[in-house]
Amino acid sequence: MKQKTKTGWPDVLITIGTIFIIIITLYPVIYVVSMSFSSAEHIMAKDVYLLPKGFSLKAYAMTLQNETVVRSFVNTLWYTAVGTLMSVTLTATTAYPLARRQFFLRKQLSFLMTLTMFVSGGLIPLYVLVQKLHLYNTRWSIILPYIISAYNLIITRSFFESLPEEMADATKIDGGSEWTIMTRIFIPLSKPIISVLVLFYGVGYWNSYFAPLIFLSNEKLHPIQLYLRGILITSESTGMGMDAVLMSEQMKYAVIVVACFPIMVLYPFIQKYFEKGVLIGAVK
Amino acid sequence: MTAMERLRKNVKRDWMLLLIILPGVIYFAVFCYGPMYGILMAFKDYNISKGVWGSPWVGLKHFKELVNSVYFGRLVKNTFLLSIEQLFWSFPIPIAFALLINEIKRKRFQRLAQTAAYLPHFVSVVVVVGILKDLLASDGGVLTQLFSAFGVAPKNYFNLPSAFRTLYVSSGVWQEFGWNSIIYVAAISGIDQQMYESAALDGAGRWQRLIHITLPSIAPTIILLLILNMGNMLNIGYEKVILMYNAATYSTADIFSTYVYRKGLLNAQYSFASAVGLANSVINVIILLTANFMAKKTTDTSIF
Amino acid sequence: MQKKLVTGLLATAMAVSMMAGTVLPAAAEETEGATEAAAEAGAAAGEVTGTVYDLGGLTLPICEPGSVSLTYMGNDTWCAGVSYNDGLPVQQEIEKRTGVHIEWDTYSSDVETVLQTRMASLEGLPDMVEVPPFDSNVGVDTYSSNGVLIPLNDLIEQHAPNIKKLFEKYPALEAMCTSADGNIYALAGWWGDINDYVPDYLYIRQDWLDNLGLEMPNTVDELYNVLKAFKEQDANGNGDANDEIPLATKNGLKQLYYLMTGFGYDTNSLWYTDADGAVHYAAVEPQYKDMLTFLNKCYSEGLISDDLDGTLLTQNITEDKVGIVCHDPADNMASSDDLAMTSNPNCNYQFMPVIQADENGTAQMTKRALTWHYYGITSACENPEAAIQWIDYVYASEDGMMLYNYGVEGLSYERDENGEITFTDLITNNETYTSAFSALRSIGAWPTYFIDDSGEAFMKIFEGTKVETACQAAYGNMKDPFPEMLGTAEESEIYTSMWPDLSTYLDEMFTAFVIGTESLDNFDSYVETANSMGMEEIIRIKGDQYARYQEITAE
């Protein structure tokens, strides 16, 4: 979208404000990355402020040599890809009927589904259920128990509701089924919300550590976040032997970079679907 | 009879919709409502070998224990104040940021700002709190030095009860505002560009376009999220608080979740923990319903 | 002590070699060879014989190799990024000798959450478990009364000769493993041996004292003067007189109760018994106020770090800023040295003598806790006999202790013809794991399960260092800590309902008195409030438990 406008003082203010925001939000990331490339004594002294001090790749060597890291990384990719695909699909198909004003269970189901955001039976019954369904120690235990988030469901529903109803009605008159309306009209118009869902679910699966912690005892199936958490928490707790703490202190930042980098770079790719005109272009 | 007939009619009309929503309904029934019986634990003395159903009823014993704690009043106050302060700041800032981003003309710069703002979301809270403590260390912390340049005497803010909520909320906002703005950015992207163009032709300024087009267009999203956020208001996890509080700041920092963590989890008191959880849920649902009702009355948007 | 070690080793070697069928070999190496040869022969013949050891009545292998598999659930190694799941050498060796395969269901974060979920739902129970929650022992009562943990008495009696011997050697251990109903449902991780050696007290920069021409402080007044000097002068000699932090704590200000010996107590333990055997809790007694007054004065003069939860301690040590460190336990002194040496090569931390009220004081340090976590066998275990024998081996047998403390012969240590042990380069010169401790843990030694740490081995690891000197000085000069006994159901109920709030209150008030947000004039009302919150009740429970302890240990 190109528009010719003058650059006035509001633009100057906006630019300055934005630069400030970029600086304060980019800082922790730069800090973590710099720490991961610094040598042990500077990590301990925490005197790295901007650039790495005493450049060292030891932390990465320790991290990447570890076959557990590589294996968990691959597991995480699997959970994220499969989980996101399933969750986005299921969320969209569940939200669609809830967005149709004619649907007679619309209100009741919306209420019951939203309620699950606020009320739950607790961890123990859920764990028992996962065991009883024989999902325990399978890859599905990471995906199925949390496959739809009520929050995402509600925002998707509300996006669908904002789409012009007339088009659906027109299709209906032409003899199109609800399935056709959903797949031919609603879904193609929903790129922004689907991008949001991909991002939310993708990041959710990528960062998920609680489900794997509780539902997977087989280490071969563990995702990278469990490993990362192990390192992070070990460095916080005190057992006997402070040098174990030092060790994990050193690995901490490298593992964070390794574990977060791929998902951090996801955003710019999804961003393009947020650009103006996508929706309208599709309608016309 | 008529109800039956109506149902039959409805099913006949909406069978395709029912079929489409079936997998979702099964999910919620099995994984969300299936384990709901766990709530009973709050009214029982959970006995592992007897299971939830077989454990003896104790009525409101665990609720009474909570209410009778000398800390109950303080916990209520702290939990509510922290929740409200959190909502007050963390809700509008992402909206403001999304609007700001929308006003940037250079696409590259816009993308850069957006990506940068979203990055802190990925930094573990352990690291965030570590960085914060480092920046605010009373001897030599970067921010402490900055403050003292403005004449503020160095002190350890992590030991000040009055500073806890500010530290908690501001670091939370800093970490999450970019991430939370995504949904608004997406909503803004859905606005019809012709509206802006015709407004521009009518001579509407930038500010007017913002007030009269952008904001009203994303208002439903804002209201929806406000309702959800209010319902979730009291759900503040213990993890970050535990990293941030110490014996000097309990008076403002200790909230229900940290209390349950210390008393319930660290002492294997399952029934007590679920009683507190349930009380929390009930209050959440009441807030949610109220917010939803108000929204329905005043605007046209609501969740149900 | 060195002699004791050698005798122990010889006894082990003899026990091993006798059962392996060799007649009194001169060197243990030969035995190793023989056993390996036997194992190979067995494997080659396609039959499962293994090597048969007899260790004080325990026969190895416990089962036909590979026929029994048990799961263990609990903490993973304390070595970052290393898991028992990786098949570590020590655990492989244990499997080879016992024939029992262990599935490691171990976690390095959120361990209690995982454990409690499984224990509380009775689904997916392991065979052996580290009993949660870790910070209190109420779990043993909760899970035994619910039938999750099985009684071990008969199993120990019939199948665990080495555990019986360990109990005979340490009646305190048996007492702390015994529940109020007289049964044993869990074995406590045993620190009684190692903590005879390991002091847990404040350590101080000897080089700072030297720089300023000060003597090692012995009394409260001397301590105050040293703190003051550290604060006011340029103790670290970097030209900045203001960057020194005289005293800093790792685990919160409350750890400074260590200084109570300067105020009318004869040891630094909050729980203690008087001459009549009555149980007291120091923090609600009048003398305690004197200590709080002293600490308050120090804090207000900037002599104590305001980093209350110790987050910045390691970095401050590294930056050559901290004069006195309050951080358990001994080996941290060595690590602190290493840290500070990166900015000041002269750094020299030394243990401080116990602070006395005056020159004639005779107060002594209290040892660190005697136990650490509990371990049990669950009702899901189909082969508790094998489990208890395996535990007998790893927790109590001499052979198992060698693997536990020194790792695998040939890999982590060598033995010369006199039975003298030297660690290999893997341990002393490890590039990744710079301390011997971590290096040993990285191969699976010094495990987190069925803990029974050896003081001699600890000394061996720190041989020739000042940690060893400090341990030698502390040996025999420390008082036994107050025993942590398992409670009755009623005691546990009272304890879990009162203690969490009460301990929060005590911590909070300690801090408030020291940092000055609460006036010490309110000390009496503080004691009153504590009593109204159940302090007396808790003291009564501790008294009953202490009586049971004495009863059992007297037997």
The better pLDDT of the pair A241, B286 is held by B286
Nearest C-alpha in B relative to C114: B265
pLDDT at A149 over 90: yes
Give the DSSP letter of residue C263. Answer: G
Chain A residue numbers with beta carbons less than 8 Å from the beta carbon of B224 are 154-155, 158
Architecture of domain C67-196+370-479: 3-Layer(aba) Sandwich (3.40)
Nearest C-alpha in A relative to B13: A103
Over residues B177-188, the mean pLDDT reads 90
Query: Do the Cβ atoms of C107 and A240 come within 8 Å?
Result: no
Report yes or no: A173 at the B interface, CB cutoff 8 Å. Answer: no
Chain C residue numbers with beta carbons less than 8 Å from the beta carbon of A230 are 76, 80-81, 107-109
Per-residue pLDDT band at B89 (split at 50, 70, 90): very high
Q: Residue A270: what pLDDT?
A: 80
425-464 in chain C: CB under 8 A from chain A: 432-435, 437-438, 441
Nearest C-alpha in A relative to B287: A118
115-154 in chain B: CB under 8 A from chain C: 130, 133-134, 137-140
Query: Do the Cβ atoms of C118 and A127 come within 8 Å?
Result: yes
Nearest C-alpha in C relative to B141: C312
* CA atoms of A57 and A36, how far apart (whole Å): 8
Query: Do the Cβ atoms of B247 and C508 come within 8 Å?
Result: yes
Instruction: Note whether C500 and C538 are within 8 A (CB).
Output: no
Chain B residue numbers with beta carbons less than 8 Å from the beta carbon of A158 are 220-221, 224, 301
Of A123, A227, A244, the CB nearest to C438: A244
* CA atoms of A234 and C438, how far apart (whole Å): 13
Per-residue pLDDT band at A244 (split at 50, 70, 90): low
Query: Do the Cβ atoms of A213 and C342 come within 8 Å?
Result: no
Query: Do the Cβ atoms of C143 and B48 come within 8 Å?
Result: yes
Other beta carbons less than 10 A from residue C16's beta carbon = 25
Of A44, A136, A230, the CB nearest to C339: A44
Residue at token pair 């909320």? B169
Chain C residue numbers with beta carbons less than 8 Å from the beta carbon of B139 are 243, 245, 321
Q: Residue C316: what pLDDT?
A: 87
Query: Do the Cβ atoms of A232 and B127 come within 8 Å?
Result: yes
Chain C residue numbers with beta carbons less than 8 Å from the beta carbon of A208 are none
All structural domains of chain A with their residue ranges: 1-56, 57-283
Nearest CA distance, B87 vs chain C (angstrom) = 28
- Helix H, strand E, coil C: the string for C110-165 is CHHHHHHHHHHHCCCCCCEEEECCCCCCHHHHHHHHCCCECCCHHHHHHHCHHHHH
Instruction: Note whether A259 and A224 are within 8 A (CB).
Output: yes
Query: Do the Cβ atoms of C121 and A131 come within 8 Å?
Result: yes
Report yes or no: A237 at the B interface, CB cutoff 8 Å. Answer: no
Burial of residue C23 (CB within 10 Å: 0-12, 13-18, 19+) is exposed
Nearest C-alpha in C relative to A222: C107
Report yes or no: A163 at the B interface, CB cutoff 8 Å. Answer: no
Query: Do the Cβ atoms of C81 and A128 come within 8 Å?
Result: no
CA-wise closest residue to C341 among A41, A14, B6, B230: A41
Chain B residue numbers with beta carbons less than 8 Å from the beta carbon of C307 are 137-138, 156
CA-wise closest residue to B132 among C195, A129, A27, C34: A27
Is the CA virtual torsion C355, C357, C358, C364 positive or negative? negative
Average pLDDT, chain A: 83
Report yes or no: A269 at the B interface, CB cutoff 8 Å. Answer: no
Chain C residue numbers with beta carbons less than 8 Å from the beta carbon of B130 are 311
Of A68, A213, A238, the CB nearest to C250: A238
Residues β-bridged to residue C272? C280
Q: Is C516 left (phi over 0), alpha (psi -120 to 50) or beta?
A: left
Spell out the domains of chain B, with CATH numbers in brackets. 60-131+167-298 (1.10.3720.10)
Query: Do the Cβ atoms of A121 and B38 come within 8 Å?
Result: yes
Report yes or no: C508 at the B interface, CB cutoff 8 Å. Answer: yes
Give me the average pLDDT of each 10-residue run along chain C (555 residues): 42 41 37 43 40 77 90 88 89 94 90 89 92 87 91 95 94 92 94 89 93 94 96 91 91 90 92 92 94 96 91 86 83 76 86 92 91 94 95 93 93 90 90 81 92 90 87 90 90 89 93 94 96 94 92 83
Max avg pLDDT among B82-96, B224-238, C436-450: B82-96
Chain A residue numbers with beta carbons less than 8 Å from the beta carbon of B194 are 280
* CA atoms of C90 and A25, how far apart (whole Å): 46
Report yes or no: A198 at the B interface, CB cutoff 8 Å. Answer: no
Q: Residue C10: what pLDDT?
A: 42
Pairing state of beta strands C413-415 and C421-423? antiparallel
> Chains A and B: how many Cβ contacts under 8 Å?
240
Q: Is this complex scored with an ipTM above 0.85?
A: yes
* CA atoms of A129 and C538, how far apart (whole Å): 39
Q: Residue A113: what pLDDT?
A: 95
All structural domains of chain C with their residue ranges: 2-55, 67-196+370-479, 202-366, 489-554
Q: Residue C109: what pLDDT?
A: 82
Query: Do the Cβ atoms of C437 and A234 come within 8 Å?
Result: no
Which residues of chain A have a Cβ shorter than 8 Å from any chain C Cβ? 41, 44-47, 62-63, 66, 68, 123-125, 127-128, 131-132, 136, 213-214, 217, 219, 226-227, 229-235, 238-249, 251
Nearest C-alpha in B relative to C123: B48
Nearest CA distance, B183 vs chain C (angstrom) = 32
Instruction: Note whether C73 and C428 are within 8 A (CB).
Output: no
* CA atoms of B103 and B110, how far apart (whole Å): 9
Chain B residue numbers with beta carbons less than 8 Å from the beta carbon of C300 are none
86-115 in chain C: CB under 8 A from chain A: 86, 105, 107-110, 113-114
Residues β-bridged to residue A26? none
pLDDT in tens, A86-124: 999 999 999 999 999 889 999 999 999 999 998 888 889
The better pLDDT of the pair B136, C272 is held by C272
Nearest CA distance, A65 vs chain B (angstrom) = 23
CATH value of A57-283 in 3.30.300.100, 1.10.10.60, 1.10.3720.10, 3.30.910.10: 1.10.3720.10
Of B156, B268, B270, the CB nearest to C307: B156
Report yes or no: A230 at the B interface, CB cutoff 8 Å. Answer: no
Average pLDDT, chain B: 89
Q: Residue C35: what pLDDT?
A: 45
Q: Residue C34: what pLDDT?
A: 43
Which CATH fold would you assign to the domain C202-366?
D-Maltodextrin-Binding Protein; domain 2 (3.40.190)
Query: Do the Cβ atoms of B248 and C254 come within 8 Å?
Result: no
CA angle, B208 then B212 then B216, to 5°: 145
Query: Do the Cβ atoms of B268 and C508 come within 8 Å?
Result: no
pTM over 0.90: no
Least confident range from B72-81, B149-158, B179-188, C25-34: namely: C25-34
Nearest CA distance, B177 vs chain C (angstrom) = 27
Query: Do the Cβ atoms of B134 and C143 come within 8 Å?
Result: no
Helices (DSSP H) in chain B: which residue ranges? 2-27, 51-54, 61-68, 72-90, 92-102, 107-118, 125-135, 142-149, 161-189, 193-201, 206-209, 215-231, 238-244, 250-253, 256-263, 270-298
Query: Do the Cβ atoms of B35 and A199 come within 8 Å?
Result: no
Phi, psi of A56 (to 5 degrees): -150, 140
